[in-house]
Every structure is written in structure tokens, then in C-alpha cells.
Amino acid sequence: MVMRKIVAATALLLPVTQAALADTAPPQPLPGLVATPPAAAAPATPVKLPSLHVRCDGEPPNMSDGESIARLIGAVTLLGLFAPARESPDPDKRLFGAEGVAVCSQLLDGAKPEANGLRRLRLILARAIHWMEAKDYPAALADVEKARSEAKALNLVGNAYFDQSFGLSFDLLGARATYLNGDAAAAREIGLRTAARTRFGFYPVMTAAYFSDALRTSSPAEDAALAARDRITAGFAQFHAMRLDELGKFAEAARLRDGLKIRLYNFNSELTMSWLDATAGLSWALAGDWPRAEERIIRAKAMIDQADADGKPDSDRANVIEVMDLYGVLKSFHDGHADDARRSFGARSEWSAPSFGAIVATTRLLRAGATPGQLIGALAKTEDQLWKEREDKSRAYMLKRISGGKTEFNNIVSFSSVDEYEKVSRKVWKGDRTGVISKNPAKNSRYFMLTPGSLEPIDAKVAPDALLLDAALIAKARGFKGFVYLRSNRTWSDTSVQFGNPGDPDMIDSFYLDADAVIAELRQLIPSPEELAARDKAGKR
């Protein structure tokens, strides 16, 4: 049906489409003018349009990345593709929807189809995005699989550098098209496919797509991906805890928040933890463990009161108070004051600070046995309505991004530079080097900082994997089996580590990293100098 609409649109908008497919657009006569122009009129100058490649995906015919992967797989015939481009990238010149499909199709299937395998992959995925813009999701999925198939034929799939860079694009786009086509559960499994195979690679773990806004149950792949993310970027454990609340796993959510507090506090004892205490208290209350809940709520209240007394109000103050208010609602209900609890909960039009799972669980609890007159304000919506409303907002947001014609192309990931990974091999594999580890200056801290300067100069895309492998190798050199790791959400250079063994007090299970497992996976990206020498001998560099 969409293809017929595209054909019809092509016929109706012939001047526009011809301009899209030709390198120069002939001038079109204006209605009402006589056929014979004045004798002195000069011929119109053809308008020079961007290349077909730029109109398809915003990139010139020659590529700026992928050269080192081409060398690694021995694709010497591709190397001419990396000559200096005669044209600059220009995302604003990309066409949209049906016209984007048409111009990409001319490059892929026309009289002179793009013959270079690496360049074709990007063009195929660009066409998949244009199909999504045109709301033909099955066609988008077909193109994603076409790109995957051609990548396999080029012997790219299975190469760690490809799989953890451009290869991520297949699942990122395939998952989104599957979700928009109406199957959120299948979309999640596609979106987590790479993360399920890769526990420590920064980009596969961080780009995993969950679609949890539309799913009330988890899957083994989701559980594993969330746990992997907690270990390499501990701050994201807060999002994992919120997901556990949604799944009704309140005790697990509370334990994760408690563990995160210990993890962060050991890193810096001066950090304010009122938010983690308050949300952990709320989860313990929903789990039915009232003594633990009360202890954490009291502690959170003391923290914000002390901050007020010091003249430095807690930055999370308003949110912490709202979470404590919801705890008060639950406590009132638990103590037998159901009507008071319903009145307090319904007095707000909505609750925004507590986790979605906590709000849904409280709604379900209070609506049971309520009179029609009590179902007002925040209590007016059923849990099914809350879920539906959230899914609709999430879907609308995704459609808006796609309709903008720009941000969806961010899901075509650039190729890794093998050279940049190889550059850091000697420094990373030296083991326990002087100057790599420094004492953390934070007061009372028993943690250490990885000194990023010890690896510089280093590519920002390579840095997260290099630092994690560095920590694992230093742990082994110091006689430890593993470590816990804290990477800043803002910059890779703020990285702390503490070495230890399973069962040690500071080795919290939710954040513990086994050094041997980290080394086994990340050495595929950053081989040892000996492995690089063997690669040289085999002619693969």
C-alpha cells in the first residue's frame, strides 16, 4: 500500500522527484507563459544539486571511516573509497521519506549501482530510515536484513571491531522498525541482541534498546543487559532499580539502591545520598519490609534537614520530599487509615518524582475497595491507563524524532578505527605501571583513580574500553581476581576502581567485575603486543 502511495506521489510531484534523481535539475516552465521566449532571452543556468549519495544519506561518495577495518579483512580493493572526498558531508541535503527511498534506490538498484560493499551498507540502512519516515516498517526491516546479509558476504559480521561499531546499526534500526510495526517484545529482543553477547564493550552495552515503556514483564536478555550496564557505568543502576519497581521486584530494587549508595559513598563520602535513601525506603515499603523502609526515610529526612540548616539546600530536595510524601501515603494505608491514604494520594493531579513502578503499585493498592467518589485526581486512572498513557507518549516521541529527518541517522554508527585501538595496546598491556593509579583525593575514600593521562593520546571512542581493560590487567598484576568500577556518566576520564576478590566487603555483587572475563572479551578489541605481532606476521595489519 505504501509503495503504491509512493508511486502515486512520484507521478504527482514529477518535477520534484526528477530533481531528486538527477545531478542537475532542468528549469520548469511556469504556467501561463507563451511557449516562444523573447529572442534576446539567455538560456537558464542549470541548478547544480548535491550528489545522489548526499541526498540519500548526507555523506559524499567517498567515505571518511572504515579504512582500517577494510585493511584488517584484506579488502584492498575497497581502499580507493577512502580517497579525499570532492564533496563535504551535508545532512541538511538529505531527502525525506518517499523521495529519500527513490534516490537511495537509484544508487543501490539503478543503472550504475554502488559497487563498493562498505559504502553500500550505509546506503541500504539510509534507505531503511527513509522507509521508516514513510511509515513502511516492513520495508525498513527488509532493508536492515539486506544490509546484514551483505555485511556477512563481506566477512564483516563476527569481526569485533565491526560488531561493536557499524554492526550495532542493524539491531538499533531493526528494533525500532519492529517496535513501530507493533511488536514491542520482539523489538526488545532485537535491541538487546548485541548486548547479550557483549558484557563489557562500552558501546554495545550503552546502546542496548529495551522498549520497557511498553512491556510489563522482563526477559532474560533484558535482565542480563541491565546487570552488565550496572557494572561498567554504576550510575545507571538507578534506572535499573526503577525498572525493577515496574516489574514488582521491590526488594531487588531496594537492594540495588542500597548497594549503589555504598558504592558511591566509598568513592566519595561527601556525596549527598538523600535521593537513594528515600527511593530505597519507598521500595522497601512496597516490599513490605517496614523497619528497613522507615530507617531509610528517616535518614533521607535528616540529610535534607541538615542541608537546610547548613544553608546549602539539597539539590534533590523537592523530589526527595515528594517520594517521602508517597511513603507517608503507603504508611497511612498500612496503619489502617485507607481513606486518609486515598485522600492524600488523590489530592495531587499526578506524581512525578517517584518511580513509575511505585506509582502504579500504589494506584493498584488504593483503588482496590475505593468508592467512586474517591477515584479523583491521581487516583482517577487505572494502572492499565497509566501504562497505556506512557507507551503512547514514548511512541509519539519516537515518531516525532523520525519525522524530523535528522536524529534517526545517529543510529547508523560509524566504523571503529582499528588503528586507534591498536595504538593503546602497549600501554594498556604493560600491567601495573607507575603513575597509572593515584589515590582518590576524596575525603575518607578507599578507592583509587585510573589516571587517564597514562593512556593519552587516546581516541574518545576507544577510551572506555581501554580503561576497563587497563583496570582488569592491573587487578591481575596486583594479585586480585576482580574489581568494582565507577565511570562518570559525563566523562570517561573520571574513573575510579577498587580491587578485590569475591566476598570482600567492598565487592558488591551487583557491581563486581571478574578480571579474567573482562580481559577475555576486551582483548578482541585491544590485543596484546604479542597478539599484534602475530597479526602482523599473518599480514592482517
| Mean pLDDT score, 14-38 | 36
C-alpha cell at 23: 545531478
Percent of the chain whose pLDDT exceeds 70: 81
The pTM of the whole model exceeds 0.95 = no
The pLDDT of residue 18 is 33
For residue 450, name the pLDDT band (cuts at 50, 70, 90).
low
Instruction: State phi, psi for 173 to the nearest 5 degrees.
Output: -75, -40
pLDDT in tens, 368-426: 999 999 999 999 999 999 999 999 999 999 999 999 878 899 999 999 889 899 988 98
| Mean pLDDT score, 113-131 | 94
For residue 491, name the pLDDT band (cuts at 50, 70, 90).
low
Mean pLDDT of the chain: 85
The pLDDT of residue 283 is 98
| Mean pLDDT score, 52-80 | 78
Which long-range CB contacts under 8 A does 494-503 form with residues at least 24 apart? 495/449, 495/450, 495/452, 495/467, 495/471, 496/267, 496/440, 496/447, 496/448, 496/449, 496/450, 497/437, 497/447, 497/448, 497/449, 497/450, 497/471, 498/266, 498/446, 498/447, 498/448, 499/474, 499/475
CATH architecture of the domain covering 233-381: Alpha Horseshoe (1.25)
Query: Of 32, 3, 30, 28, which Cα lies nearest the Cα of 14?
Result: 28
Q: What span, in angstroms and rounded, lies between the C-alpha atoms of 324 and 289? A: 16
Residue extent(s) of CATH 1.25.40 domains in the chain: 233-381
Q: Which of 9-23, 507-521, 526-540 has the lowest mean pLDDT?
A: 9-23
Return left, alpha or beta for 248; rule: phi > 0 is left, psi -120 to 50 is alpha, else beta.
Answer: left
- Please, what is the angle between helix 137-153 and helix 117-133, to 10°? 170
